[in-house]
Amino acid sequence: MTGLQPPRTVTYGLACYCSGRETPAGITQPGRGGGVADVPEVVRTRRSRPTGCPGRPRWPATARGNIEVFDQRAPGYESGWLGRLHHDIANRAADLALACSPAPRRVLDVGCGTGYLLRELAIRVPDAEELAGLDAAPAMIEAARSAAMDDRLSFRTGVAERLPYPAAAFDLVVSTTSFDHWADQRAGLTECGRVLAPGGHFVLADQFSAWLLPALLAGRRGKARTKQRASQLLAAAGFRSLQWHSLYAVIIRAVTATK
């Protein structure tokens, strides 16, 4: 997308923004360099730690460790340079979403975190009726509810793989930097397609790059981290008119699609 130029930040953040550590050891800080070589570090930091989690939505044990990490991060998620990085990515995703779907009525953010993107969309789309966010981490949802100042915003705990919404409930579905954490990406995309109304738009932003192929050979085996693999999954889930956009630095890309 031509209007979206990466800032002078470097890929450091892309290596760790989704890890459980705010300032992970061995990862360089803003403006000091760093690079995609850091990415495998993320993989190493995200071991699953299966534990019993009564009262939580059920998902495969391999995903639980991730969610606990996000629960811990929730209170400070929007703070510091990592928070600013997420805001930048979300702002660009909002630009892209509204370029595709300028006046959505019902919006869903899958893996919404603390709800920043939806808060932005609520400001920018005054005619939207409903802006719903879903996240697997209960503490993220708690933080999203606390920050929400608009009655049209609603948040609930749940997983992408089993969205608790009826078919065709939304005309815009977005997801930013969450897809890589989904335990079953195929099922999650199928669910996104199910809840999207015919003609609705889907915007999926995450790490998609051939630079990430080494990670696929390590702990991220099976994840759709390249445009090609993600496009195949999206097509299998029934999405069409796929268009890829550079969103942030060299790794964060977004794909737009329609149902």
Ligand X SMILES: C[S@@+](CC[C@H](N)C(=O)[O-])C[C@H]1O[C@@H](n2cnc3c(N)ncnc32)[C@H](O)[C@@H]1O
Please give the residue ranges that form the binding site for ligand X (CB under 6 A). Answer: 18, 63, 66-67, 70, 86, 89-90, 110-113, 135-137, 140, 159-161, 176-178, 181-183
Q: Which is nearer to ligand X, 86 or 119 (CB)?
A: 86
- By beta carbon distance, the residue nearest ligand X is 113
Q: Which is nearer to ligand X, 123 or 241 (CB)?
A: 123
CB of 65 to ligand X, least distance (A): 11
CB of 245 to ligand X, least distance (A): 16
In three-state form (DSSP H/G/I as H, E/B as E, the rest C), the secondary structure along the chain is CCCCCCCCCCCHHHHHCCCCCCCCCCCCCCCCCCCHHHHHHHHHHCCCCCCCCCCCCCCCHHHHHHHHHHHHHHHHCCCHHHHHHHHHHHHHHHHHHHHHCCCCCEEEEECCCCCHHHHHHHHHCCCCCEEEEEECCHHHHHHHHHHCCCCCEEEEECECCECCCCCCCEEEEEEECCHHHCCCHHHHHHHHHHHEEEEEEEEEEEECCHHHHHHHHCCCCCCCCCHHHHHHHHHHCCCEEEEEEEEECCCEEEEEEEC
Q: Which is nearer to ligand X, 13 or 111 (CB)?
A: 111
Q: Which is nearer to ligand X, 43 or 136 (CB)?
A: 136
CB of 25 to ligand X, least distance (A): 19
CB of 174 to ligand X, least distance (A): 8
